[in-house]
Structure 1
Amino acid sequence: MAMNTTRRDFLKTSAAGAAVGTAFWVANEPKVALSNNPLEKLNFACIGVEGKGSSDTDSAGRDGSVVALCDIDESRLNKKARRYPDAAKYIDFRVMLDEMGDKIDAVTVSTPDHTHAIAAATAMKQGKHCFCQKPLTWSVSEARLLRKLAQEHGVATQMGNQGTAANGLREAVEVVRSGAIGNVSEVHVWTNRPVWPQGEGRPTETAEIPEGLHWDLFLGPAPDRPYSPVYHPFKWRGWLDFGTGALGDMACHTANMAVMALDLFDPKTIVADHTGIVEGETYPKSSTITFEFPETEKRGPVTMYWYDGGRKPPVELSQGEKMSNSGSLLVGSKGTLFSPNDYGASYKLLPREQYKDFAKPEQSLPRSPGHFTEFAIACAGGAPAMSNFDYASRLTETILLGNAAMRAGKKLEWDGEKGEFADADANKFLGRDYRDGWSL
């Protein structure tokens, strides 16, 4: 949908409602119609095109046209360009958006965590729809900003936590909300991550920047530091300047079902027990984080426990059920819901004998036509994607408060309305100053 006058008229028409048949998805109707008319095809620009960015780019190519590719690593950029030879190539998303503004309808952002916010914000300020990988942002303050920008600019949005589109997750949410396991007081969430270096100091060796790797653009808003092969292309996740550790990487998947079912936003306290952040450089090798959520009109108080680095809940499952390497456990007054899955895509009700004749509650959430397709439909004027930034930013905020508690090294009290900790010194962990030349 290059944004000339004709296509702008189309967008206005489709945004008025999907009744014209451009795109739709509803609770009991899984069929989807995205127009094959070239005039109406979404034009995507993809920022970060290898790793998860490779599949995100291909998803964009299935539901629209990929008109631009951007990556700070020219070898990765050129590799993806072989599949999309007609797409323009860029190493700097800011230049791409400036030069191709009216030819782009939507962007995908699949970069390291520390550049999610600035890439997404730059695109949304130009009126571009935005798909951004999880966690939505590197910091709590960035998550709040992206929510605000999405609302101000009226763009379609989605975070890349694909479990949200799994029917099993949506059904589990319906089961919990129905009261089938009673009043939930405890939630346990765990992962086998990290599977990358954490709990170590800054490397002392130096190395030449590989040809075609634009290190300054990789750094983006992060503080300047010398290049090292320990950061790029995959191992950045454990470094505080670039990633969000095991918690940021996986909790937007693994805690998603519980957060959605119970509205686990704005914890009143957060405290972390961990093996230590080394030299202010990397997240710990393992941690347990406790989030205390106050009572709401819909539920009582809930304690959520997060475990990583091989730690698991000290909970005995009934009837010999085995604890998985990652998953979640919701403990209610009547029973337990166990999801032995990274994404909450499947679940079991325990004890099994008690629930052998369980009748599922009436469906209340729509079933998905596919995670990325939800986003494409929203861009074309259909229903918002379920993991849109209104929800995704709050999920991300909940998760990243755990990282702030790890860095503070103490129990923190959180005021969600004010967006600050009672301990003023800990507020420095809610965001950071951007490097010169980069700003939101």
Structure 2
Amino acid sequence: MEETKKDQNATNRRSFLKTSAIAASAFMIVPRHVLGGKGFLAPSDRLIVAGIGAGGKGQSDIAEFAKSGKADIGFLCDVHDSRAANSVKAFPKAKYYRDWRELMDKEAKNFDAVSVSTPDHNHAIIALAAMQLGKHVYVQKPLTHDIYEARTLTAAAKKYKVVTQMGNQGASNDGPRQMKEWYDAGLIGDVHTVYAWTDRPVWPQGIPWSANKAQVPSDLDWDLWLGTAPYKDYVDKLVPFNWRGWWDYGTGALGDMGCHLLEAPFSVLNLKYASEVQASVGSVYVDEFKRGYFPDSCPPSSHVTLKFPKTNKTKGDVTVHWMDGGIQPERPEELQANETFGDGGNGTLFIGTKGKMMAETYSANPKLLPLSRNKDIKVAQKFARVQGGAGGHYKQWVEAAIAGYGKQEVSSPFEIAGPLTEALLMANLAIRGVDVQRKNSEGKISYPGRNIKLLWDNDLMKVTNLDDVNQFVKREYRKGWTLGA
């Protein structure tokens, strides 16, 4: 999308809205910041939310905010009208936009908070724009598409003093808190190794981009959907779900499930930033003898190993294994032959010096191993539970936003969600590094990223021993799109 005079005018309108006197609201419930400025609690004590991404997961997110009883859905925004139809029907008083930039230009004074539930590649630009307007933000997982974006949003939440939450609902479940209590009580000793696994992807990966162009649906703004991503012609079946398997838009199985499955290891062990990572990936065969090479598509399966430095909760480094595509770690010897490992398709396993514990998706139903240990556990509760568990994740953010920055705790603020997302995206660096190609002067192809370990400089945000993958730390946006004002 070219930078035009129209875009400049939009920027001028945004500046005008931020600096001009506040006009009377067209809504029955006036946004809280209009009535009394930053931190003011309106008599109605309600939050007006703009939902950007109103179909699919966005639809359910918006419904959960409304269900909290303390939020009003003032605006809806989606590039695909038919996907947003159910939300439009459910909230007939909400004003509808296609372009989130127009929504923010025209309505910034009329809402308090923004929910972002778009494909991964557009999360960061929308969230940062909202934060720069002083809006609280709820962003679906993964927080961002790139490491640089995650670091930027983490810093922005503190700079702009807004209440943030990532949409990994399991962070509000009882499970992580229960496991922290068990771990702090010394029931499994010092954890040195963690496994997390998933049966995702359940969408196509490891495939070539379709050569067959399709007609863009009349109710879809394809250019807006692409946003920051390189321009490509529309192809059938990419929208609304299968974009997850393409690096231009999605982050693969790690992006889909990693924030759910690795949140507990982060919160229990206080993990932050990984120092090294290595990966092996599954491949597909294009015919009976030849393996496919499709670097634009996430692989059908992977096993990634990350090393995290010692924390105040561990005695040494912690090794975290990620497995997707149906790959699972060896069953613990403490688990009986017919006892379910995790929840079957997904799970997390902590291995300590004195024992083991495991959990299901969303860190649900944590258990000590062997399962017989769970009959007589007597550990005092140290950590307050979130009312409603995973379902309470939404209401928790709404109430914290009403209270104001720093006044009320949330389970997955960007100060926690940012480093967690970075770890997942570091794992994706290793996965993408496996397919990095080089050609010598004779045209012979090599793969320098295979069979090596990537070393990460956290301060410089770069891999120090394979520069080829650093292009993915901060991708280049399509012309006309930038991160921040």
TM-score (norm 1): 0.90
Return 121-130 or 318-327, whichever deviates more: 318-327
1:438 corresponds to which letter in structure 2?
Answer: W
Cα distance change of structure 1 residues 364 and 41 upon mapping to structure 2, 3 Å threshold? closer
User: In structure 1, what is the equivalent of residue 51 of structure 2?
Assistant: 46
Q: State the shift of 1:310 in Å.
A: 1.0
Is residue 2:35 matched to residue 1:7?
A: yes
Q: 1:293 to 1:239 in 2, by over 3 A?
A: same
Do residues 165 (structure 1) and 189 (structure 2) align?
no
Kept after mapping to 2: 8 A contact 1:173/1:258? no
Q: Do the aligned partners of 2:142 and 2:255 also contact (CA within 8 Å) in 1?
A: yes
Q: Are the aligned partners of 2:356 and 2:368 in contact in 1 as well (CA < 8 Å)? A: yes
Kindly tell me: are residues 90 and 293 of structure 1, through their superposed partners in 2, closer, same or farther at Cα, counting changes over 3 Å? same
The question of 1:306 aligning with 2:322 is answered: yes
Kindly state the Cα deviation for residue 425 of structure 1 after the two structures are TM-superposed. 3.0
Query: Displacement of 1:104 after TM fit?
Result: 0.9
- Structure 1 stretch 220-229 or stretch 357-366: which is displaced more? 357-366
Question: Which residue identity is paired with 1:306?
Answer: W
Residue matched to 1:373? 395
**Corresponding residue pairs, total:** 416
Decide whether the 8 Å contact of 2:193 with 2:319 is kept in 1. Answer: yes
Shift of 1:5: 7.0
Q: Does 1:145 align with 2:143?
A: no
Residue 213 of structure 1, CA deviation: 0.4
Inter-CA distance 350–4: structure 2 relative to 1 (3 Å threshold): closer
**Shift of residue 107 of structure 1?**
0.6
CA contact (8 A) 2:79 2:98 kept: yes
* Contiguous gaps of at least 5 residues in structure 2: 1-28, 284-291, 435-448
TM-score by length of 2: 0.82
Aligned to 2:334: 318
| Segment of structure 1 superposing worse, 345-354 or 92-101 | 345-354
Does the 8 Å contact 2:176/2:268 carry over to 1?
no
Supply the AA of the counterpart residue of 2:351.
V
| Equivalent of residue 241 in structure 1, options 238, 242, 248 | 248
Residue 436 of structure 1 corresponds to which residue in structure 2? 479
- Is the 1:335–1:350 contact (alpha carbons within 8 Å) kept by the matching residues of 2? yes
3-state SS, counterpart of residue 196 of structure 2: strand
CA contact (8 A) 1:271 1:290 kept: yes
125-134 vs 76-85, which moves further: 76-85
In structure 2, what is the Cα distance between the partners aligned to 1:319 and 1:390? 36
Deviation, structure 1 residue 355: 5.3
Alignment gaps of 5+ in structure 1: 15-34
Deviations 1:279-328 (A, max 9, x none): 32111001100011222343121111111111000233414033221101
Distance 1:386 1:115 in 2: 23
Moved more, 421-430 or 141-150: 421-430
2:19 corresponds in structure 1 to: none
Query: Contact (CA 8 Å) 1:408, 1:429: kept in 2 or not?
Result: no
**Secondary structure of the corresponding residue to residue 252 of structure 1:** helix
Aligned counterpart for 1:295 among listed residues 289, 310, 313: 310
The answer on 1:337 being equivalent to 2:379 is no
> In the alignment, does 2:360 pair up with 1:346?
no
How far is the alpha carbon of 1:177 from its aligned partner?
3.0
Residue pair 2:32, 2:40 contacting (<8 A) in 1 also = no
Indicate the SS of the match to 1:194.
coil
Aligned mate of 1:57, from 28, 48, 62: 62
Choose which of 376, 383, 389 in structure 2 pairs with 1:364.
383
Secondary structure, in 3 states, of the residue corresponding to 1:107?
strand
What CA distance in whole angstroms lies between the structure 2 residues aligned with 1:303 and 1:383? Answer: 33
State yes or no: 1:91 paired with 2:98: yes
What is the CA-CA distance between 1:397 and the residue it aligns to? Answer: 0.6
Partner of 1:399: 424
Q: Report percent identity of matched pairs.
A: 38
Give the CA RMSD over aligned residues. Answer: 1.8
CA distance in 2, matches of 1:379, 1:319: 43
SS at match of 2:49: strand
2:461 & 2:77 partners in 1: Cα distance?
34
User: Residue type matched to 2:57 in 1?
Assistant: K
SS of aligned partner of 1:273: strand
Contact 1:253 1:342 in 2 (8 A): yes
- Match for 1:284 among 279, 295, 299? 299
Q: Structure 1: which amino acid aligns with 2:363?
A: G
The CA deviation at 1:4 is 7.5
Where do residues 209-224 of structure 1 align in structure 2 (5 Å cutoff)? Answer: 209-224=216-231
CA distance in 1, matches of 2:358, 2:39: 44
Counterpart of 1:31 in structure 2 is none
Give 1 or 2 for the bigger CA radius of gyration. 2
Asked whether the equivalents of residues 177 and 262 of structure 1 are also in contact (C-alpha less than 8 Å), the reply is no
3-state SS, counterpart of residue 303 of structure 1: strand
The answer (yes or no) to whether the contact 2:33–2:39 under 8 Å persists in 1 is no
- 1:28 aligns with none
| Matched letter for residue 373 of structure 1 | K
Mapped contact 2:307–2:318 kept (Cα < 8 A): yes
1:213/1:338 CA distance change after superposition, 3 Å: same
Contact kept? 1:185, 1:331, Cα under 8 Å = yes
1:353 Cα deviation from its structure 2 partner:
4.1
Please give the per-residue CA displacement for 1:331-373, whole angstroms capped at 9, x wherever unaligned.
111110011x111121110123455432124313443451101
| Counterpart amino acid of residue 49 in structure 1 | A
